[in-house]
Structure 1
């Protein structure tokens, strides 16, 4: 930073040129509302945000550094193939000033610096945290079936190896990858990890370097992995992904979520289903929506300066889903660039873009500039002025991580006694610009004296009219105060956990919505608050005003101090698809006595049928599951088919089916031929590492040609997993012909009562031949599917 002021400069000379003492209104006067500086314009972006920077960036995680920039970390991959580089970068790092425009910033290891204990393993799925003045980067070491840790003083290093985090064995019956660290408000640190059907959690030691104590399983399901936990409004939310991450155009990955009132669960989905239950789960946060993005998954979360949350995740471009195989021909990877999209919290549940799914095209971006405030990185205190006691105590300082910051030194000011109406010893450094009354403000604060306090002030008109949130080392607490007309309207004190380090940077945020003020303290803005406090403000305190830093006593420092208009939350989900009018000519109530497709006048036809044992029973089509499948080259299953209407439509069936052995499945299909189809079935699948447990899933699958593989693969097959199952279920497939892109688009949905539906993602295939509507009961014998009806609706 050119021309940065340092502690060695004469304070009087510096402050005489840079600080202006603002006049104060008469003592006891209530400050009038002031005009706020207009809210800054939002930037725009288009996914993937890593386009033109790196070719791929799987499993992204992100943090805002103390220098005010954002840093993202990804799984080891060949990120520069397009630049002619065949090798991989080991935990690549990107840097951005706005979360949408990125530059390459290095990598954590090279082959020469990778620690020997990792045995040359590839390194996956990093998770970044800021802990007591250092950056902690956790990552999976699959070659050793464990999790590693490195720490650094800045987001780009230099990195120090801290060894393996998990004991061996870890206590979790799973692949020991996809870790995420979380610290609760009481200071208890946890580690979440797992893959290949199970996610576990355990407490960590105080240094956050090792897992210790009992291991609790918190989620299981087919390929459940990628756990990531945040706390919001009294709930702990476990984000995770399931199905397959990395099969190119056949990746069924989605992000899902469950919530709990404890970090160790039990977590339940929005349907009330425990994430440990032996069924597929609802709570889909983001899935494929039919645009170019396939297999969205493995997420982190970030918050912009207005308080709006953003999901950070990867997606697979349908037009270019695969990376070039490595020179040796053994490493074949799926292209997974980094995406971001707005994360909305609606009725207590998170969902991307109100349920619209991954974005395509230009989008409003995160709010990245403040209405008032700054980062102290321009070498001066221009735009700031000092008020209160010790006005000549403010100066600029510098460190390698945060660069410029403001600090208040000893100048004869002494801490005022607690409980006084106004603190005569308090010093303020406030912005020239004004922030609106409804705002989000934040600052990075620290206190190096055991008797000092550092604060964030909002709605500041003068020292007799303002609101302040203190990190108070003398009381070991977060303290808020509202001062109107020179008198305090009462302090609120929230104790901080034992061991809280006041002498390292902590982020303090203040949000004011209506008359409600919410304050949070965290190390890294990652929704794992060290303390939170809410209180109602008097009407006179809800006003536009300056934002700034506050100091009491010795050792207060502040960085990245600013405020802008608080975001407006989205409160309504995007409309969910609803079927239109029933098409009787393409429907069947199954109330006859003749098996469909066995007479010349039937609208139904069989492929390899009629199926053995099929009957009409009590107004249902009763069909024993077969020892035959529609899977790649194994095409022995019977399929009962009928024509589909022209245009867009939805097909629905009510099915009673209770499979008790792996691979039994039954449901509806949209069928072109044995190697091109979509299906929505109730299926039973084995749970890996489940000691023989059988998982009931709503399986939304497709089969078709693999567009890009080397060597060419004629047929590929993949599932997504939808909502929870039941012995009686309602299944839907909704068809849309995307003539612009010449694609069949099919969306699935499931219900356990016929009224409340869990919407799944969208599978696509190029339009070639005609799709017909069908039913199947297949793969393994021993179960009976009873179809009550098949209804087709116009969309």
Structure 2
């Protein structure tokens, strides 16, 4: 057992390389968990698939070589059609985080271009990277938006800070919102109200992710258009704040609530439309995960992992390669 533990520790401590991924890396809207036995990814489901468009998973022993492990079982959760009045073609943009040994997997259900949407939650008290489809219990509805609302309840991301937790979410409309949640249940607190933390006044902004680092909070978002293969214009932007609730400012001091944002990564060479990003911790250090559309492979969305580096208090990643 000691030898096995040492082997696993060695795999998880693989060199901090952003490039060189192997295996099955076709993915959209990736989210990464790092249990004790390796790495697991969760991603947007396949539209119209026989599995009901459920969240897709992959496993990796080292974060480099990835293999497909299929969709979560059960198809589209039963509550979704009742709540929305229609059955979405697939589940979007899952986001996995861990709190006190339990993994929380938030997900989005909607239809393209509309904000008649909902965020749901699954939990898993014993997630294994080798079998990431096993052990999930659906907890049902977390948040809802309807036609006429000024926000869209998709693209959830949870951040824990101290004894508290928040859920960031949103796409288009008036932008990104943040709401305090119960750290144990993962649901909004009874007296909590969502507030906007980033906006482009109706222009494209989505995929929020928040990282706490050395007393500051960093909000990562995607600007512009996803989901168009090599025609995508997605790019990853960032802002910084002294509190998780903001205000978030870019390097020039422009508020993200007023369309601000400092570009972190954008299209370069075969890497088209990088976005749908999240942050996760690997060996105690923050990493960025996102997809890009591979120009050399007909625009197939591919996985990219990169260690986050720092310069004058701002995140950077090495040039894509």
TM over 0.5: yes
In the alignment, does 2:249 pair up with 1:268? yes
Deviations 1:746-768 (A, max 9, x none): xxxxxxxxxxxxxxxxxxxxxxx
Deviations 1:673-705 (A, max 9, x none): xxxxxxxxxxxxxxxxxxxxxxxxxxxxxxxxx
Report the counterpart of residue 309 of structure 2 in structure 1. Answer: 344
How far is 1:117 from its partner?
Answer: 1.3
Cα distance change on mapping 1:78 and 1:117 into 2, 3 Å: closer
Counterparts in 2 of 1:387-466, with a 5 A limit? none
Match of 2:143, SS state, is coil
Counterparts in 2 of 1:233-252, with a 5 A limit? 233-252=214-233
| Off by >6 Å, runs of 4+ in structure 1 | 1-4, 85-88
Provide the C-alpha distance between the structure 2 equivalents of 1:86 and 1:75, rounded to a whole number of angstroms.
14
Match of 1:117, SS state, is helix
How far is 1:110 from its partner?
Answer: 4.2
Deviations 1:610-639 (A, max 9, x none): xxxxxxxxxxxxxxxxxxxxxxxxxxxxxx
How far is 1:135 from its partner?
Answer: 1.4
In the alignment, does 2:141 pair up with 1:179? no
Provide the C-alpha distance between the structure 2 equivalents of 1:159 and 1:343, rounded to a whole number of angstroms.
30
Deviations 1:532-589 (A, max 9, x none): xxxxxxxxxxxxxxxxxxxxxxxxxxxxxxxxxxxxxxxxxxxxxxxxxxxxxxxxxx
Deviations 1:471-501 (A, max 9, x none): xxxxxxxxxxxxxxxxxxxxxxxxxxxxxxx
How far is 1:169 from its partner?
Answer: 5.7
Cα distance change on mapping 1:41 and 1:209 into 2, 3 Å: closer
Q: Name the larger-Rg structure.
A: 1
In the alignment, does 2:39 pair up with 1:77? no
Report the counterpart of residue 56 of structure 2 in structure 1. Answer: 92
Cα distance change on mapping 1:42 and 1:205 into 2, 3 Å: closer
Report the counterpart of residue 160 of structure 1 in structure 2. Answer: 137
How far is 1:108 from its partner?
Answer: 1.9
Provide the C-alpha distance between the structure 2 equivalents of 1:261 and 1:255, rounded to a whole number of angstroms.
21
In the alignment, does 2:197 pair up with 1:202? no
Deviations 1:256-296 (A, max 9, x none): 1111111111110111000111x4x341111112x211000
How far is 1:235 from its partner?
Answer: 0.8
Provide the C-alpha distance between the structure 2 equivalents of 1:136 and 1:272, rounded to a whole number of angstroms.
34
Report the counterpart of residue 71 of structure 2 in structure 1. Answer: 107
Provide the C-alpha distance between the structure 2 equivalents of 1:269 and 1:3, rounded to a whole number of angstroms.
47
- Cα RMSD (Å) of the superposition? 2.9
Say if 2:24 and 2:66, in contact at 8 Å, map to a contact too: yes
Report the counterpart of residue 284 of structure 1 in structure 2. Answer: 263
TM-score (norm 2): 0.82
Report the counterpart of residue 192 of structure 1 in structure 2. Answer: 168
Provide the C-alpha distance between the structure 2 equivalents of 1:172 and 1:127, rounded to a whole number of angstroms.
23
How far is 1:301 from its partner?
Answer: 2.2
Cα distance change on mapping 1:53 and 1:167 into 2, 3 Å: closer
TM-score (norm 1): 0.35
Say if 1:172 and 1:200, in contact at 8 Å, map to a contact too: no
Say if 2:119 and 2:144, in contact at 8 Å, map to a contact too: no
How far is 1:87 from its partner?
Answer: 7.3
Provide the C-alpha distance between the structure 1 equivalents of 2:179 and 2:147, rounded to a whole number of angstroms.
10
- Aligned counterpart for 1:42 among listed residues 8, 12, 15: 15
Deviations 1:318-338 (A, max 9, x none): 12344xxxxxxxxxxxx3111
- Aligned counterpart for 1:218 among listed residues 172, 194, 197: 197
Say if 1:237 and 1:260, in contact at 8 Å, map to a contact too: yes
Provide the C-alpha distance between the structure 2 equivalents of 1:316 and 1:169, rounded to a whole number of angstroms.
31
Provide the C-alpha distance between the structure 2 equivalents of 1:170 and 1:266, rounded to a whole number of angstroms.
28
Match of 2:230, SS state, is helix
Cα distance change on mapping 1:311 and 1:99 into 2, 3 Å: same
- Aligned counterpart for 2:279 among listed residues 298, 301, 305: 301
Report the counterpart of residue 122 of structure 2 in structure 1. Answer: 150
Number of aligned residues: 293
Match of 1:189, SS state, is strand
Match of 2:79, SS state, is helix
Provide the C-alpha distance between the structure 2 equivalents of 1:218 and 1:109, rounded to a whole number of angstroms.
35
In the alignment, does 2:230 pair up with 1:257? no
How far is 1:44 from its partner?
Answer: 6.0
How far is 1:314 from its partner?
Answer: 0.3
Say if 2:34 and 2:282, in contact at 8 Å, map to a contact too: no
Provide the C-alpha distance between the structure 1 equivalents of 2:38 and 2:14, rounded to a whole number of angstroms.
19
Provide the C-alpha distance between the structure 2 equivalents of 1:235 and 1:349, rounded to a whole number of angstroms.
10
Provide the C-alpha distance between the structure 2 equivalents of 1:205 and 1:3, rounded to a whole number of angstroms.
39
Match of 2:245, SS state, is coil
Match of 1:276, SS state, is helix
The structure with the greater share of residues assigned to helix is: 2
Provide the C-alpha distance between the structure 1 equivalents of 2:303 and 2:110, rounded to a whole number of angstroms.
22
Provide the C-alpha distance between the structure 2 equivalents of 1:170 and 1:131, rounded to a whole number of angstroms.
33
Counterparts in 2 of 1:361-376, with a 5 A limit? none
